[in-house]
Amino acid sequence: MSTGRKLWKIIVAALLLVPLFVGALGANAAEAGTADVTLHKRVFQDTMPTYKNNTGEIMPDFGGTPLAGAGFTVYDVSDYYDTEIRKSGATPASVQDLIEIAHGDGTTTPFEVAAAEQLTADGTGETTFANLPLTKSVSGKTIDAAYLIIETSTPANPEITQKAVPMVIAMPILVPGTKNVNTHVHLYPKNVTLTDKQKEFVNEELYKVTIGEGEDAVIFNSVQIGDPLNYKINVNMPDISKLDSFTVIDEPGVGMDLADPNSLSLPGLTLGTDYTVDYDGTASGRGFVIDFKDTAAVRALAGKVLTITYTMTLTADAPIDTAINNQASIQVDGQTTTQFTPPNPVFTHGKQFKKVNGQTGEELAGAKFKVKKADGKFAKFDANGKFDGWDVDGTEISSDADGMVRISGMRVGDYTLVETEAPDGYVLVDAEILFSIVKDGYANPQDIETVNNFRKGLLPSTGGSGIYAFLIIGAMMMGGAYIWFKRSKEQAEV
């Protein structure tokens, strides 16, 4: 749609939506002099309030909060208003028809600027167009003036999603309840800014753990390295054509990063055409930066919610038993305007074991283990004991010079430790060792589990007489004793 047609559409809306000045239609005589028009710019959160008539007077209870930096321009529509509207007594529908006819080919507008753009002030959100004439001379006759006031620019902060409806004022404006001309008119144009919804952790329920009951319950998200973490951000889109730049930034904490660039989805928009993504653009080099372009597709989203979805994953540098957050923000014209409250953080955990001589407490290096879960699969670990997934074989982890075995990057839960190789000179532990990974247990000395090994027993030497000599001597002694006993008995019977 061309600029001219858009302006005519705006005027239609303005004429239909500003009944304040219907009373002025009854004034037939043109009034001499001027009037000041003060705009009290208000911004409302999330929704436009129910329709509220301007009275032309100061309205301290109008609502909203003052908005600075909004620009308004005043156009002179006196001739058109006097010819097509004031004298016709037209209905709203016929007003729209007349404006469409007057619009012509849509390439030009017949309206002149009566007052150049002015910005509303800090603190008050006000600006005053001074000395607007109450009358205008057209073709040698004097008519009442009429003005169209349009919001021609909006501030970058806050993010405006619904601009003020254009306003038409037809002079003279009378003081309510009197026939006196109001020479200082007060109007309250309204904007809407939306509260960006909190960033959401979509599949949080998969990782939620509850320990305890009632008021004493502790609830947290327990994850392991490699887990997919699905997020979405609901962004209230501005009018991109009014901005120099509009950027959405996601920067996770240490131990989290984008799982796959292909997981980043902006429905209805095309990568490269409507937006670009810098995967190394954050201060930490993790996450991503989305920079929107001024295209028709992006402009069409003005005042609407764009849902951005993507998948993060836990990485091998994730700190143990430490909250890992995922931050997101919006920058307008290079300035951060929205800092999303991050969703609940995630935690990952670990376990330490100490391998010792069960008799002396000596620390033993070189013992090898595997970790198994309930379904029989074994954990894979990297060289530093960081979890790397599950399979049917798993990988062995060894006790170091201090006898320590460290595993990390796992969820809380119950597991089994299986010794696959004992230190030299020690007996293999046949029994599987049940253990639990708990929150905040990795660095707790009381949660370090001791695994005992015992030295192998001594075996008899071979190749010499050894014990056999003692057995022969014992047999001879027993034989001699038997012979002596038998002879003694025979003598006693004679």
Mean pLDDT by 10 residues, the chain (494 residues): 47 44 40 85 68 78 81 86 70 49 51 89 90 90 87 69 72 88 87 66 95 90 96 88 89 93 94 95 92 95 89 96 94 84 94 95 96 96 96 96 97 97 93 95 95 75 48 62 59 52
Residue whose pair of structure tokens reads 């639990």 in the numeric block: 436
How many CA atoms does the CB half-sphere of 48 hold within 13 Å? 14
C-alpha distances (whole Å) from 345 to each of 65, 145, 321 are: 34, 61, 11
pLDDT of residue 103: 46
Which helix (H) or strand (E) segment holds residue 34: the answer is strand 34-40
d(CA 356, CA 457): 17
Q: Is 365 exposed, middle or buried (0-12, 13-18, 19+ CB in 10 A)?
A: middle
Q: What share of the chain is helix, strand, coil (3-state, %, to 5)?
A: 20, 40, 45
One-letter amino acid of 19: P
Dihedral angle of Cα 46, 51, 56, 61, to the nearest 10 degrees: -60
* Nearest-angstrom CA–CA distance, 290 and 243: 15
| Global confidence as pTM | 0.62
Residue 321: beta bridge partners? Answer: none
Is residue 73 packed enough to be buried (19+ CB in 10 Å), middle (13-18) or exposed (0-12)?
middle
What integer pLDDT is reported at residue 244 of this predicted model? Answer: 85
Q: Look up residue 196 and give its DSSP letter.
A: P
| pLDDT confidence of residue 198 | 66
CB neighbourhood size of 177 (10 A): 6
Nearest CA to 26 out of 108, 149, 144 is that of: 144
Phi and psi at 179, nearest 5°, equal -105, 15
Residue of 243, 172, 126 whose CA lies nearest to 30: 172
Who contacts 39 (Cβ-Cβ below 8 Å, separation ≥6)? 72, 120, 126, 127, 128, 129, 149, 187, 188, 189
- Contact yes or no for 40/65 (Cβ under 8 A): no
- Nearest by Cα to 434 from 451, 456, 421: 451
